[in-house]
């Protein structure tokens, strides 16, 4: 694991905590995946970023993804389980 990947994972966590202050956000990493579980009221979301994606993504790309998740959490929209970096329908499942 590189320092660059660790920093990006921390940026994601801090942005989520800042943008959704009422939500409980848990972070874990393992098997090449950085996972954020976001509980906001009656809804929960599971968002995973593969390490290989964090390695190649720039800050602007991550910012767009974070904004999308924040909008989904605040609106209660789905899907509730997302693996970032997959094509639509691939490994995405609504809870």
- Residue 84: CB atoms within 10 Å: 22
pLDDT in tens, 65-84: 899 889 888 888 777 777 77
pLDDT for position 89: 39
pLDDT for position 12: 94
If you average pLDDT over residues 34-59, what whole number do you get? 90
Total-model pTM: 0.80
Which tokens in the block code for residue 45? Answer: 């979301």
CA 3 to each of CA 14, 28, 75: distance values in angstroms, whole numbers, following the listed order: 16, 16, 33
Residue 21 has pLDDT above 90, yes or no: yes
56 against 77, higher pLDDT = 56
DSSP collapsed to 3 states, 77-93: CCCCEEECCCCCCCCCE
Residue 1 has pLDDT above 80, yes or no: no
User: What angle in degrees, to the nearest 10, is found between the helix axes of 3-19 and 59-75?
Assistant: 30
């Amino acid at each position: 694991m590189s320092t660059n990947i660790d920093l990006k994972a921390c940026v994601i966590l801090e942005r989520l905590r800042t943008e959704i202050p009422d939500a409980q956000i848990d972070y874990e990493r393992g098997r090449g995946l950085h996972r954020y579980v976001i509980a906001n009221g009656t809804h929960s979301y599971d968002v995973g970023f593969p390490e290989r994606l964090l390695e190649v993504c720039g800050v602007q790309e991550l910012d767009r993804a974070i904004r999308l998740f924040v909008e989904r959490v605040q609106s209660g929209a789905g899907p509730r389980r997302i693996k970032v970096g997959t094509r639509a329908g691939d490994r995405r499942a609504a809870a």
